[in-house]
Amino acid sequence: MRLVTWQPDDLVHRLDDVIEVYGSAMGYHADLLQTRRGYVAAHAGRPGFRAVATLGDRGGLLGFGYGYTSTPGQWWHDQIRASLRRDNAKGWMSDCFELVELHVRPSEQGQGIGQRQLDALLSGLSHRTVLLSTPEADENVSRAWRLYRRFGFVDVLRNFYFPGDDRAFGILGLIMPPPGHLPA
């Protein structure tokens, strides 16, 4: 397997694979996945877009991750900002990279793929903070939660509900360390 950096066109070109991995990792129904296609394709054009993918020996998509600069007027940014106290919003969201998606095909989880993808996305990042949302889970059981905690992500909001989703999410944040100080 190999980790590659993707340009916006690479993500859009592999959109079917991206949506399939996303759906299997998140357990979403096919109806929701069709609406996500447009969002994911649009995200590729956002300022500060960065993406990585892990490809198998035959080029199959094992995992991917991407994010971009979080700015006012973006749906996720505005949802989170409205839920934070003004001082917290300013501190977390003034110079923020939004880690939008980080997924590994369930059959490939537990092999360090997510960690390598997250490390690659955060390496050399010029933003002061990183924010992400992830479904609430038992932190001792969830691989995603354990990964984010290892990287130093802390709680920003817990039990947050996005409009149209009946699941609770945790909003986690990372204040970026100096270059070369991400966990191995």
Interacting residues of 10 by C-beta distance below 8 A, sequence separation 6+: 51, 53
Interacting residues of 123 by C-beta distance below 8 A, sequence separation 6+: 182
Residue 66 a catalytic site member: no
- Work out the angle at residue 84's Cα, subtended by the Cα atoms of residues 82 and 90, and round it to the nearest 5 degrees: 95
Interacting residues of 142 by C-beta distance below 8 A, sequence separation 6+: none
Question: Catalytic residue among 22, 66, 68, 148, which?
Answer: 148
**Tokens coding 56:** 């198998």
- Which amino acids are annotated catalytic? 148
